[in-house]
Structure 1
Amino acid sequence: MQQKNITGYGKEYEIKKHPDIKGVQIIEGKNNFPISWLNQQGYCEYQIYLEYMKGIETAPTSAMTHGSEIHNQLENIFKQDATPAKFEEVVETSKSEASMSRECFVISPSYGIRGYIDEIWMTPEEIVIIDDKPGRTPYQSTMNQVRAYCLAFKDMTNDSRMIKGALRERGTNNLFWIEIFTPEIEKEIEFTINRMQGLLDSSKPFIPTKNPNKCRSCRYKRYCEHYKKG
């Protein structure tokens, strides 16, 4: 499998920063948020409100720092042997010759999402989109994140090949969850993304988690009016 380092994209968009929400861009007249926020949404929607709408900043956890270090190490190793290529070129040539890329940027102005895929395998038969996570548990939030990557890739390329989403144990080759991106799954993730868009335009309320274990370990608990000690 050829290693391709994606260095550019054919289409560019006019991007404006949202005046009130950190991290949200306005592209083609629509709020566009990072796909990684779906993981945070599944943990607790109110975290998104505190961090990006209220602008509360906290120090990264040791797990976050360690994860970033591993991610950067893998990226540097990959680039040493990868061939530079444009995104459209990689997609087209993979229809006859398999390739893999890391940090593949995908964007969908129509759905209002964007993000970087940790690793993507493109073969003549299928596309496999992989997100690296600590542990081996496929949470709904992490599955939603991968599904949104699949949706953005499909919308961006209109590729007819089978698309699969997968979660991999960080730092290993263990794909502990994989699924075909079916029309039914596509509808489910569209519904979740639409809810996120409702949160951003204030047509839907941010719902805090009801799991006390999540609250106790939350780095925003000292700022959250929903946090109850004890």
Structure 2
Amino acid sequence: MKNKLILMQKYSQQNHPTIKSIQIIEGKNNFPISWLNQQGYCEYQIYLEYMKGIKTPETKSMRKGTDIHNELEEKFIESATPATFDDVVEMSKSEATISRECFVISAEDGIRGFIDEIWMMPNEIVIIDDKPGTRAYPSTINQVRAYCLAFKNMTDDERPIKGALRERGTENIFWSEEFDENAEKEIRYKINRMHALLDGQKPFIATKNKNKCRPCRFSACCKECKL
């Protein structure tokens, strides 16, 4: 497979007046897809970090993840040739390609983000999100499903799309599924809930799991903490 560095597409946006990291695109709130992972862990984290603006130091695991991610990206760039998103999609219909940090966006669904790695092959598209460990949590599944949805909305491609989770820093894909109608329906439900939270239509709900509260970097300033 050929390594392709997909150039980020330009788009028109404005920052939300009060919520950090929210962009307004085509008149709709647009949030980072990674928030769906955070939402599945504890919705209240999003409220504290992005709506209240509470800042906390990076954890050791966060720093390690960033370092591994950067190393993989630098190694990939060494052998990758730049191309536009549309060109890579078209090229991959006859020749398999690999891309990292592929930016995807759906104005319709109000989501955007960077796919860790994507394999575009003549017979299928595989969208990979790297995670520590080898357990597929509902929150991490939600994140990769949203990447699949955004990619699907950016193309008229009829090739099947598969979402996958891979152990960070390895080639071990420990979970995968075809992005079918059921997966799309379930992730749209999660996305719509997120928009309802951001619009103030629903309250942010904190986790009731003490095991999630213990390592949480917001535990010292969270009034919902269960410890």
Superposed displacement of residue 78, structure 1: 0.2
Contact map agreement 1:111 1:193 (CA 8 A) in 2 = yes
**Among 17, 30, 33, which residue is 2:31 paired with?**
33
Cα-Cα RMSD = 0.7
Determine the C-alpha separation between the residues in 2 that align with 1:78 and 1:226: 42
Partner of 1:171: 169
**Among 83, 97, 100, which residue is 1:99 paired with?**
97
Contact map agreement 2:37 2:143 (CA 8 A) in 1 = yes
Superposed displacement of residue 58, structure 1: 0.1
Partner secondary structure for residue 172 of structure 1: coil
Superposed displacement of residue 13, structure 1: 2.5
Superposed displacement of residue 228, structure 1: 3.6
Superposed displacement of residue 7, structure 1: 1.9
Could you give the per-residue CA deviations for residues 152-193 of structure 1, whole angstroms, max 9, x where no partner exists? 000011211000000000000000000000011100000000
Contact map agreement 2:2 2:96 (CA 8 A) in 1 = yes
Residue 142 (structure 2) pairs with residue 118 (structure 1): no
**Among 149, 152, 157, which residue is 2:150 paired with?**
152
After TM superposition, the structure 1 = structure 2 runs for residues 8-19 of structure 1, keeping only pairs within 5 Å, are: 8-9=8-9, 12-19=10-17
TM-score normalised by length of structure 2: 0.99
Determine the C-alpha separation between the residues in 2 that align with 1:225 and 1:145: 27
Partner of 1:2: 2
Could you list the structure 1 runs, at least 4 aligned residues long, displaced by more than 4 angstroms after superposition. none
| Structure 2 unaligned spans of 5+ | none
| Structure 1 unaligned spans of 5+ | none
Determine the C-alpha separation between the residues in 1 that align with 2:173 and 2:8: 28
Between the two proteins, the alignment pairs up a number of residues equal to 227
Determine the C-alpha separation between the residues in 1 that align with 2:149 and 2:80: 26
Q: Which amino acid aligns with 1:180?
A: E
Determine the C-alpha separation between the residues in 2 that align with 1:43 and 1:157: 31
Contact map agreement 2:219 2:225 (CA 8 A) in 1 = yes
TM-score normalised by length of structure 1: 0.97
Determine the C-alpha separation between the residues in 1 that align with 2:16 and 2:170: 37
After TM superposition, the structure 1 = structure 2 runs for residues 214-225 of structure 1, keeping only pairs within 5 Å, are: 214-225=212-223
Contact map agreement 1:163 1:181 (CA 8 A) in 2 = yes
Determine the C-alpha separation between the residues in 2 that align with 1:130 and 1:169: 10
Partner of 1:192: 190
Determine the C-alpha separation between the residues in 2 that align with 1:135 and 1:13: 35
Partner secondary structure for residue 214 of structure 2: helix
Determine the C-alpha separation between the residues in 2 that align with 1:70 and 1:228: 32
Contact map agreement 1:8 1:85 (CA 8 A) in 2 = no
Contact map agreement 1:130 1:168 (CA 8 A) in 2 = yes
Contact map agreement 1:5 1:83 (CA 8 A) in 2 = yes
Superposed displacement of residue 8, structure 1: 3.7
Could you give the per-residue CA deviations for residues 58-83 of structure 1, whole angstroms, max 9, x where no partner exists? 00100000000000000000000011
Partner secondary structure for residue 71 of structure 2: helix
